[in-house]
Chains A and B, each alone.
Chain A
């Protein structure tokens, strides 16, 4: 069964460093998302992406964050200058269509720890 994959599974970085989290969505899906989950808390939406542009973003997704689909398969989240509060599990998700009527399939996550 097709699945969303993410790399790396864990990343430790120093405050102020740049990190890039990578995702390979399900191959025929057209809509891509990033969410994050701070330890013990609920899952929060960051950004959605379609047709090579951001379609929606939350207030968390400030100028320090960017997303890109550099080729036909990868979808990346970049944090330019990490802060301690960016420590969280970051989930990539994809769906075939949008409008909220399609299941979003989540990847296994990247656990980011900022020291």
Chain B
């Protein structure tokens, strides 16, 4: 059974700082997604990573995938308050997405 774990579960960081969220998964896959969820809202697609070594960047967020290590990272650069949200990684083996536990990120002014 595929297991997807994220750490940390909670992250409180100051504006302007850098940090990384980690997503580990138990079964080899080359299809990994990052989603953002604001409280009470839906899931917004951030990145789709489809090959080993894939790196994608959008604004202050950068995601990478290492399929050999079964690890994806979401790096936040010079955090701003607007980035406060819960971030989920999700891995696809078949059609379904298996989501991680989520990382609740709070940016403190």
Contact = CB atoms under 8 A, between A and B. Distances in A.
Contacts of A98: 95
B88 A43 contact: yes
B31 A101 contact: yes
Interface residues of A, number: 23
A108 B45 contact: no
B33 interface: yes
B92 interface: yes
A53 to B, nearest CB: 13
B43 A45 contact: no
B96 A42 contact: no
A52 to B, nearest CB: 15
Contacts of B96: 33, 45, 48, 56, 58
Contacts of A107: 42
B50 interface: yes
A33 B102 CA distance: 20
Given A42-B100, A101-B31, A101-B50, A106 B43 contact: yes
A31 interface: yes
A48 B92 CA distance: 13
In the complex, which of the residues B43, B45, B88 has the most CB atoms of chain A within 10 Å of its own CB atom? B43
Given A100-B93, A108-B41, A43 B31 contact: no
Interface of B: 31, 33, 35, 41-45, 48, 50, 88, 90, 92-102
